[in-house]
Amino acid sequence: MQGKIALEEHFAIEETLADSDVFFGGPALWDELKHRLLDMQERRLREMDANGIEMMLPSLNAPAVQAIHDPKQAVELARRANDFLADEVAKRPDRFRGLAALPMQDPDAAARELARCVRDLGFVGALVNGFSQIGDPDNATYYDLPQYRPFWAETADLGVPFYLHPRNPLAKHAPIYDGHPWLLGPTWAFGQETAVHALRLMASGLFDVHPSLQIVIGHMGEGLPYSMWRVDNRNAWMKLAPKYPAKRQLGDYFHENFYITTSGNFRTQTLIDAMLEIGADRIMFSSDWPFENIDHAANWFDDCSISEADRLKIGRGNAMRLFGLQA
For 292, half-sphere exposure in the C-beta direction (CA atoms, 13 angstrom radius) is 22
Q: What is the Cα–Cα distance from 129 to 59, expressed in whole angstroms?
A: 10
288 is catalytic: yes
Q: Which residue blocks in 159-260 are alpha helix, DSSP H?
A: 189-203, 206-209, 228-233, 250-257
Write down the catalytic residue from 288, 295, 303, 310: 288
Q: In what order do the strands lie in the sheet with 215-217?
A: 99-100, 125-128, 162-164, 215-217, 258-261, 283-284
Q: What is the Cα–Cα distance from 84 to 230, expressed in whole angstroms?
A: 43
CB atoms closer than 10 angstroms to residue 314? 28
DSSP state of 132: B
Contact 79, 115 (CB under 8 A): no
Contact 215, 278 (CB under 8 A): no
DSSP secondary structure string, 136-153? Answer: STT--B-TTSGGGHHHHH
ω before 181 within 30° of 0 (cis)? no
DSSP state of 315: I
Q: What is the Cα–Cα distance from 318 to 262, expressed in whole angstroms?
A: 13
Q: What is the Cα–Cα distance from 262 to 285, expressed in whole angstroms?
A: 5
Q: What is the Cα–Cα distance from 209 to 52, expressed in whole angstroms?
A: 39
Q: Give how far the C-alpha of residue 61 lies from the chain's centroid of Cα atoms, to the nearest Å.
A: 11
Which amino acids are annotated catalytic?
288
